[in-house]
Chain A
Amino acid sequence: MISNLITYVFLFCSLYFEVFLLITYIEKRKTIKTEYLEMTGTNWPSVDIVVPCFNESKTIIATINSLLDLNYPKDKLKIMVVDDGSTDDSLKTLEVFKKNTQVEIHHKENGGKYTALNFAIENSHADLFGCLDADSFVDKDALKNMLPYFENEKIMAVVPSIKVYEPGNILQKIQKIEYGWGIFVRKVLTYLNALHVTPGPLTIFRKKIFDNIGKYKHAHQTEDLEMALRMQKHNYKIANSHRSIVYTVTPKTIKTLYKQRRRWSYGFLKNAIDYKFMFFKKEYGNLGFFILPLAVISIFSALYLATNFVISNANIILEQITRISVVGISFNKINFDWFYFNTSLTSVIAWFTILGTLTLVLLSIKLSEGKLKIKTELFYFLFIYPIIAPFWLFSAVFNTIFSKTITWR
């Protein structure tokens, strides 16, 4: 009985969140098409983009080349590569840019990504400051599309739409749908003023923000999340330019995906604890009152529902094993009698929630791809992702509770 009640509460929260996102999307869907299309002024602000690099020799050249290809006045754009004590041949690889006046190459002792970013901030004198991870590549118009947002003086940072770079295997195709979902959620969260991540793949800030609220912190290895929360705490607005596309290399194996997501989830939980004073406070708007608490609840909800799913299926498997051990293997005919379809309240609500998720995923595909294309990766995402995600969530929650630190790789 209590177990059912908890399930209903979690399913209600999931459904409520989906409805809330959908209402916001419907309310703003016309604005999405027309917002900040063109810059009205003619003055291009100066922009410094830092590429922090630690053992990224395989992708760093392509990353920098994509920045050099940006449709932006060359005299207004500087690329600062900060080698954070790489032990591979990253530094040697970067020598090809030595004569390029747009590229500055710095080397420092290894101190973590946030130290590389801070090093660049200290040496930057531009109007706008951005960061691009060394495994990401920008679309030619990514930066140009962000600029109209900065004409609104209230906007202090603009985040892009992130897509998966050349998804090859099933795991990367699942992430393609997931990143598309991220594009949708990020867009909707903008309208709620509740963006709480300024992602490594190309977020552009007004440089003065760092003078006002300070530089990057270690922040449990999720400095991009903490920076966004700090901005929100100080009431600075973060916008999303969904037309600015950045491609990022995503994990190819379960192991690397697990490690990456565990770090993200752990970082979120740890930062949520650090910023717990924002929870359920009206003065922090939708973010404090609704989005942050719900994000935490959703982690525990996913874990609870996954545990329930595993237990119920384990019982079925155990029953089958017992049956085989008693009477041997025999194949029962599959019974398609509707009588045996599960029509319990939990099951019906779960189907409604899945339907809501599917609607939002389809909308996210439309927003990220420009049109609605249903491909096999959608099914991979719907059926495989819910099975693998609880693993890193479990680990992240465990490490958060027992204060175990998580390694980057």
Chain B
Amino acid sequence: MEIKNDREKTDWLKYFYAFVITVLIFATAIYISNYFSNKKLSQLKTMEDKISLDILSSETQFSLLTEASCKDIGDNTLSIEVGQLGDKLSYTEGKIGSDNLDFQSLKTYYFLLEIKDYLLMKQISEKCKDKPTFILYFYSNKGSCTECQNEGYVLTKLHEMYPQIRIYSFDYDFNIPTINTLKSIYKIENKLPAMFINGKVQYGLKSVDDIKKIIPETKIWDKENLASSTNNQASN
């Protein structure tokens, strides 16, 4: 006699429970992801506020310059913080995309802070008879600028070698009046990557060596670095 199994009824309730639990896990994942995204944006905002405060502080110090000595003003701390903020903004842009409104507002604020820092540093150096080196770097995240990423690597390397150089990067396509004004003042054409160094605009990919040739101070810094490392070795 043939004995067949009576096909057990499909347990729809179990399918439903599994579905509800999976949806709950997904909802939790969405919550966690949003929570950390907001945390990150809020951290960026806090950083920007801090930098803004620091700039305000420097500006105030600058206003009091007649009563303060040059050595009290304008160390590299702010430059490092601006650099870290730039790195985090760039990372966030890659993750959440540049269309996010919160992010766009943070990016606008960042560029404004860069320009404020640049102007302040210029004024301080003029008053203090210092001769700092500034690089205004214009890039584009659009596909048309194939060399922009490479120029980014070069400038990161350059900043590691010479922290004295103050590098300010600007998204050429970011349409805000201040960047447009900057482009018009320095006559930056849409031939990216472009850099404004020592009063001249440089177009196209420039290697570390190319930039070193444009900035003669690098030779002095190289000698100073060599001397300090020799001294360190001798003392060890």
Contact across chains for A193 and B26 when beta carbons are under 8 A apart: no
- CB-CB under 8 A from A342, the residues of chain B are 95
Tell me whether A348 and B32 are in contact in the complex, defined as CB-CB below 8 angstroms, given that A12-B26, A19-B21 are known contacts. Answer: yes
B143 to chain A, nearest CB (A): 14
B197 within 8 A of A: no
CB-based nearest A residue for B30: A345
Q: What per-residue 1/0 map shows which CB atoms of A347-369 lie under 8 Å from chain B?
A: 11100100000000000000000
Residue from B3, B8, B11 with most neighbouring chain A CB atoms (10 Å): B3
Our pick among B15, B18, B150 for the contact of A322 (Cβ within 8 Å) is B150
- CB-CB under 8 A from A97, the residues of chain B are none
Size of the chain B interface, CB-CB below 8 angstroms: 39
Assembled-state Cα–Cα distance A56/B2 (Å)? 37
A207 to chain B, nearest CB (A): 13
Contact across chains for A285 and B157 when beta carbons are under 8 A apart: no
- CB-CB under 8 A from A156, the residues of chain B are 5
Contact across chains for A326 and B43 when beta carbons are under 8 A apart: no
Contact across chains for B33 and A348 when beta carbons are under 8 A apart: yes
Contact across chains for B10 and A286 when beta carbons are under 8 A apart: yes
A23 within 8 A of B: yes
B57 within 8 A of A: no
- CB-CB under 8 A from A234, the residues of chain B are 4
Contact across chains for A340 and B91 when beta carbons are under 8 A apart: yes
Contact across chains for B7 and A193 when beta carbons are under 8 A apart: yes
Tell me whether A322 and B5 are in contact in the complex, defined as CB-CB below 8 angstroms, given that A20-B14, A339-B43, A345-B29 are known contacts. Answer: no
Contact across chains for B8 and A349 when beta carbons are under 8 A apart: no
Our pick among A15, A282, A340 for the contact of B25 (Cβ within 8 Å) is A15
CB-based nearest B residue for A18: B22
B133 within 8 A of A: no
Contact across chains for A330 and B14 when beta carbons are under 8 A apart: no
Assembled-state Cα–Cα distance A282/B120 (Å)? 74
A24 within 8 A of B: yes
Contact across chains for B5 and A23 when beta carbons are under 8 A apart: no
Contact across chains for A345 and B33 when beta carbons are under 8 A apart: yes
Our pick among B5, B22, B32, B36 for the contact of A16 (Cβ within 8 Å) is B22
Our pick among A319, A340, A344 for the contact of B33 (Cβ within 8 Å) is A344
- CB-CB under 8 A from A340, the residues of chain B are 91
Size of the chain A interface, CB-CB below 8 angstroms: 43
Tell me whether A343 and B36 are in contact in the complex, defined as CB-CB below 8 angstroms, given that A326-B150, A330-B160 are known contacts. Answer: yes
B83 to chain A, nearest CB (A): 13
Q: What per-residue 1/0 map shows which CB atoms of B14-51 lie under 8 Å from chain A?
A: 11011101100110111011001100100100000000
B82 to chain A, nearest CB (A): 16
- CB-CB under 8 A from A343, the residues of chain B are 32-33, 36-37, 40
Our pick among A20, A235, A323, A339 for the contact of B4 (Cβ within 8 Å) is A235
Tell me whether A16 and B18 are in contact in the complex, defined as CB-CB below 8 angstroms, given that A237-B5, A286-B10, A339-B43 are known contacts. Answer: yes
Chain A binding surface, main DSSP class = helix
A290 within 8 A of B: yes
- CB-CB under 8 A from A282, the residues of chain B are 10
Assembled-state Cα–Cα distance A154/B11 (Å)? 20
Tell me whether A284 and B2 are in contact in the complex, defined as CB-CB below 8 angstroms, given that A12-B26, A19-B25, A343-B33 are known contacts. Answer: no
Residue from B32, B153, B154 with most neighbouring chain A CB atoms (10 Å): B153
A104 within 8 A of B: no
- CB-CB under 8 A from B157, the residues of chain A are 327-328, 330
Tell me whether A339 and B88 are in contact in the complex, defined as CB-CB below 8 angstroms, given that A12-B22, A19-B25 are known contacts. Answer: yes
- CB-CB under 8 A from B201, the residues of chain A are none
- CB-CB under 8 A from A289, the residues of chain B are 10
- CB-CB under 8 A from B29, the residues of chain A are 345, 348-349, 352
Our pick among A193, A235, A322, A349 for the contact of B153 (Cβ within 8 Å) is A322
Contact across chains for B18 and A235 when beta carbons are under 8 A apart: no
Q: What per-residue 1/0 map shows which CB atoms of B38-78 lie under 8 Å from chain A?
A: 00100100000000000000000000000000000000000
Assembled-state Cα–Cα distance A101/B16 (Å)? 56
Contact across chains for B153 and A327 when beta carbons are under 8 A apart: yes
- CB-CB under 8 A from B30, the residues of chain A are 345
Our pick among B19, B22, B33, B207 for the contact of A326 (Cβ within 8 Å) is B207
CB-based nearest A residue for B34: A345
B188 within 8 A of A: no
Interface of B toward A, CB cutoff 8 Å: 2-8, 10-11, 14-15, 17-19, 21-22, 25-26, 28-30, 32-33, 36-37, 40, 43, 88, 91, 95, 149-150, 153-154, 156-157, 160, 207-208
13 pairs, CB–CB < 8 Å, chain A vs chain B: A12-B22, A15-B26, A24-B14, A154-B6, A235-B5, A236-B4, A282-B10, A286-B10, A319-B149, A339-B88, A343-B33, A348-B32, A349-B26
9 A-B pairs besides A16-B19, A155-B5, A339-B91 with CB distance below 8 A are: A154-B6, A212-B2, A236-B4, A327-B154, A342-B95, A345-B33, A348-B29, A348-B32, A352-B25
A-B pairs with the 4 shortest C-beta distances?
A343-B36, A237-B5, A327-B157, A20-B18
